[in-house]
Amino acid sequence: MKNRQLRLKRNIRQGEPVSLDLFDLVETDIPEPNEGQFLVETKALGTSPAQRAYLMGEMSRFHPPLAIGELMRGRGVGPVIKSRHPDYKEGEIVACSTGWQDYSIQDGDQTKMPVKTLQKIHDPQEPLYLHLGTLGASAFAAYYGFLDVGRPKAGETVLVSSCAGGVGSMVAQIARLKGCRVIGIAGGPQKCAWIQDVVGVDAAIDYKNEDLYEKLAELVPNGIDVYFDNVGGETLDAALKNLALRGRIVVCGLISTEYIDPPVPGPRHYYNLIYKRARMEGFFVWDYFEDFPTAEADLVRWYKQGKLTPTERVFKGLESAPEALQSLFAGVDTGIKVIEL
């Protein structure tokens, strides 16, 4: 048995799709844990638009680049299969920075990490990839961003962009659970049908084929109480223009403009933050790390009660990881994109 790794072969160019060509598939021996370490078998990997920045060869807003020849970074989930660490027993399930490889050595020392990311799964559910998506990092971003920053109340109107995406599909489900009226924005009729039929939004806006401003005027005449923003750009502007009094904008991501260089000019309708006494606030999910067991317990409970529908789109095999990452930008797939190894 060997450890397969995807290592960066060359940097990505502006606008170039993420593909397997950017990586070397390398086989190494499976590493042995030293005293104080443990070995994790990666059963599944998650995806995040932020991972594109690692490939660019220059410092992005948050992320240091990967060096050529370095293992691709990424979050994975799997069992501890050998342990020489007193706090991590063989058979326990963890989600952590495994990188794009079959096996990883972890030392459990979170103080050395730029952000804490090693999470013990207390009530593992099958398939394990759920702990990267519906019951893991994607859902945690939805849970903390929406509940802690958005502070919704039952009966309020919530607008979610990239609602057919990973985080967005979870925000919409949590908003529905909390008794909100949910409007989802997605690209194309199929995605709009999916967010209505599977995610359960009250109304959908196809931003690629409908006029966002007209549809918002029709669907939210009294304004948006919470806008959960995954995309930035023109959609953020339309939401700003249609805010309710004391509306809240949760800035989660800006996939529509994030990798445009030089950065695009800011929103035109931000004056409405004054007129509507509104709040616009960003968040970073890993800041909530110490509280993850609370989110995990809530999400697992809702899932077992049948109140959460898993939305994972599963790619198969380590070699499909670049395609899974690219699918975030191509916009063809619905739900949370995960890779099962």
For ligand NAP, the binding residues (CB under 6 A) are 48-50, 138, 141, 162, 164-168, 186-187, 191, 230-231, 252-256, 283-285, 328-329, 331
Q: Please, which residue, 105 or 198, has the CB nearer to ligand NAP?
A: 198
**How is the chain split among helix, strand and coil, in percent rounded to 5?**
30, 25, 45
Give the nearest distance from C-beta 127 to ligand NAP in angstroms: 19
Q: Which of 189, 40, 71, 283 is nearest to 197 (CA)?
A: 189
- State the Cα–Cα distance between residues 320 and 326, nearest whole angstrom: 10
Give the nearest distance from C-beta 98 to ligand NAP in angstroms: 17
Supply the DSSP string of 19-46, one letter for each residue. -GGGEEEEEEPPPPP-TT-EEEE--EEE
Residue number closest to ligand NAP, CB atom: 253
Q: Please, which residue, 74 or 253, has the CB nearer to ligand NAP?
A: 253
- State the Cα–Cα distance between residues 76 and 176, nearest whole angstrom: 29
Q: Please, which residue, 125 or 257, has the CB nearer to ligand NAP?
A: 257
Q: Please, which residue, 101 or 162, has the CB nearer to ligand NAP?
A: 162
Strand pairing partners for 203? 183
Give the nearest distance from C-beta 30 to ligand NAP in angstroms: 30
Give the nearest distance from C-beta 168 to ligand NAP in angstroms: 5
Q: What one-letter code names the amino acid at 214? A: E
Tokens of 326: 């690219």
Q: Please, which residue, 72 or 285, has the CB nearer to ligand NAP?
A: 285
Give the nearest distance from C-beta 31 to ligand NAP in angstroms: 29
The CA-based angle 309-312-318, given to 5 degrees, is: 160
